[in-house]
Amino acid sequence: MSRADREVFARQWAAEIAGASYVSMGPEELVAYLLGLTHQLVEAALAVEFDPSVGHRIGVDMVGAHFTGPETLGTTVTLIVERLPDLLDQVPRRADVTGRVARLTGSLAAGYATALRERSLDEQDEIYRAGLRARRQAQQELTASEARFRGVFHSSPVAIAISEPDGRIVQTNRSLDATLGYSPGELLGRQLTELFAPDDRPTVEEHYRGLATGRDSRFRVRFPIRLADGETAVIYLDAAVLLDAEQVPEAIVTMIDDITDLRLIEQRLLHQTLHDVQTGLPNRQYFLTHLEKVLGQLDPSAVVTVMHLDLDGFSAINDGLGHQAGEQLLDVVARRLEWVVADQQAMVARLGADEYAILIEPGDPVLDIGAFAETINTELAEPFYIDGIGVAVTATIGIVARRVAGAKPEELMRAASATLRRIRGRGKRQWTLFDPEIDAANRAKLQLAAAMPGALESGELRVTYQPVVTLNGDRLVGIEAALSWQHPQLGMLSNEQCVEAAERTGAVHEIGQWLLRTAAEQAVSWRQRSGAPVPPVMIDLTPSQAQDPDLVARVRAVLRETGLAPPGLELRAPVTAIRTVSGELVDEGGGQAEDNLRVLTELGMRAGLYDFGGGIRGLRCVEDLSVCVLRIAEPASQQLAEDPSRILSQATQALVHIIRSVGVDVVAPVDSAEQAADWGRIGANWAVGALFGSPGPSQSIEPVLDAAATRDPAQPSPNVTN
């Protein structure tokens, strides 16, 4: 949340307060004051260690600033609850922001009410003291003073009782009788402490004893009190001793404020903060707090189990039958999960959307995790009928079982969530246990993905170039441009590692565009250097790039900015981004990738495919698209070398023959003379690999270009830039 956003929020707040009450501050002074309170709210909501008492202090400060109009608190609470969470969603979340805002709001309301009440009580107390002083100071004004005192006493909205130092009630006002439900005069002569429950009475008596003995001059506490009808109310009790001229306790004034409704609001806000509104289950914050408590209570050798569940097929029900059906199903799932763990020391929570968590404490017998996961899915798979339609779901479950010693709640949840993400692609109704080695590898990949935008900005990303030649190596036909990353700790990372990391975040488009522009600028530079045609620069698009609706516009921008002619650039899409194994389009993305290749071809560029492994998927791409080149998948050469039966070689030979017959160039990965011979027999006509040159900086290509121009200056390679 930027400072500008905070100032906008503060101005809205100032408008609400100025409209609800008289404010002694000028407009800008009011905004500046509320901006300070806004900073406190934002910092408290985003703090690592959440402190809800910040809201209480802000409520007290508002009363101190005389923001006490009848609508001030209501408009303030509405503004914070409705506006602040949306503004905080613009920054990385440190915690459950909505829940924190709710707790801060409840604390603010409590602080505001408490401060307002204390100010009123102080004012009333001063009035009573002034009246009594006046009565003692001037006998001639006794009648008038008593009349004024009685007027204030009986008309006050605050419930007041006056008692002797021994606790006997000698006077009550109408507000007290109405608050407690007694008839006028009914309480006179009774002990004040009789109004409290037997369990609380000794504590209350001790407080009053402190006043009667002169040990204390005042006390303020919360207590439950019994009403005339036997019901119980929560009150705020403020008692003070009145001294005579010799400083001897003369009477005790007790003021009572019924805060039952405020207490209920606080409890309701707290419940909403810790529970899911839809299902009533504990939410993530409550689950983590409970998990921390359990870890602190169990023996270090005990084993706790945390499960993270994601419902399979929930979107089909939610979108197909409507959100109301989806909400009913979420409730059913919650109740069934509670039933499954009924005989366990366990907690079920809803983490959000269609995700749940289960904490299982150690018991006897030891939990059979596999059987328990199957029980969960068996129960969830039982149809539930909505408007006569039987629906059901199953769950994919990530599970971590770990000893209490050294375990932390956040790490257990992260491990369970990471395990769930790892198996989501396997299919439905799957479960698996956390694997530390796999998790470490995945975290390393995620760390690379997170650091990649910074690597681009800091210049750690490089573009490497590798010659593509005819299989006999006598002619340069293209130059492959790819990514590399000079990582400060891991050293040089390959193009495959860079692409995998980039695909995990939205940075893939920015980095892909940077690669396109850099390679195009280099192609133009090579031509200007030599004054001769240069073979096309070949770039493999990532799956996300290939399916990007803006790809054509991005490519056009690069050509326009660099001055590179369309034939000087060759873009290849991965087969897997276009067709499925059965030859069907990969959802909408596959169709978009096909459209992109067609339009690029119409612009005069070369379009191709890479990671070609044969099969219906690849053949459908060749059949439906006007591709010029096809790059064989890297593992294919190794597989051919390990094919003693030659069946794979014969099948590949037939496939390559078909592809070459329609005029498509076939690029084979070749790292040795043996592989070159194999692919020559199979029928590939182009090659790229260590045998003909490894990836390197742009300077490594210049000798290759010079040699090609010297060898055959009159016959430029096909499809060169002009």
Element (H, E) at 239: strand 232-243
3-class state of residue 481 by DSSP: strand
687 pLDDT more than 70: yes
134 pLDDT more than 70: no
How many Å apart are CA 330 and CA 350, to the nearest integer? 9
**What is the pLDDT at residue 130?**
67
More confident residue, 157 or 175: 175
Phi, psi of 162 (to 5 degrees): -115, 130
How many Å apart are CA 324 and CA 326, to the nearest integer? 5
338 pLDDT more than 80: yes
38 pLDDT more than 90: no
More confident residue, 52 or 283: 283
**What is the pLDDT at residue 294?**
93
Confidence of residue 591 (pLDDT cuts 50, 70, 90): very high
390 pLDDT more than 60: yes
Average pLDDT, the chain: 86
- Write down the pTM of the prediction: 0.60
Per DSSP, 487 falls in state E
How many Å apart are CA 463 and CA 523, to the nearest integer? 12
The average pLDDT across 154-171 equals 83
SS (H, E, C) 305-352: EEEEEEEECHHHHHHHHCHHHHHHHHHHHHHHHHHHCCCCCEEEEEEE
How many Å apart are CA 668 and CA 556, to the nearest integer? 29
- 547-582 pLDDT per residue, tens: 999 999 999 999 999 999 999 999 999 999 999 888
**What is the pLDDT at residue 715?**
44
Which residues make Cβ contacts (< 8 Å) with residue 502, sequence separation at least 6?
449, 452, 483, 508, 511, 512, 542
Q: Which domains does the chain have, with CATH numbers?
A: 3-119 (no CATH), 156-263 (3.30.450.20), 277-434 (3.30.70.270), 467-483+510-711 (3.20.20.450)
- 626-651 pLDDT per residue, tens: 899 999 988 877 777 677 567 788 88
**What is the pLDDT at residue 397?**
96
**What is the pLDDT at residue 718?**
46
**What is the pLDDT at residue 414?**
94
How many Å apart are CA 348 and CA 279, to the nearest integer? 11
**What is the pLDDT at residue 150?**
62
716 pLDDT more than 50: no
The average pLDDT across 329-344 equals 93
Portion of the chain with pLDDT greater than 90, in percent:
41
149 neighbors 124 (Cβ within 8 angstroms): no
**What is the pLDDT at residue 536?**
96
**What is the pLDDT at residue 270?**
59
85 pLDDT more than 90: no
The average pLDDT across 681-689 equals 93
- 483-537 pLDDT per residue, tens: 999 999 999 999 999 999 999 888 899 999 999 999 999 999 999 988 878 999 9
**What is the pLDDT at residue 155?**
65
The average pLDDT across 251-270 equals 73
413 neighbors 288 (Cβ within 8 angstroms): yes
**What is the pLDDT at residue 720?**
41
Beta strands (DSSP E) in 563-657 are 569-574, 606-612, 629-632
> Which range among 130-139, 313-322, 690-699 has the greatest average pLDDT?
690-699
- 435-470 pLDDT per residue, tens: 999 988 888 888 999 999 999 999 999 999 999 999
Element (H, E) at 667: strand 665-669
Phi, psi of 78 (to 5 degrees): -60, -45
Confidence of residue 10 (pLDDT cuts 50, 70, 90): confident
Q: Poorest-confidence range of 19-33, 124-138, 343-357?
A: 124-138
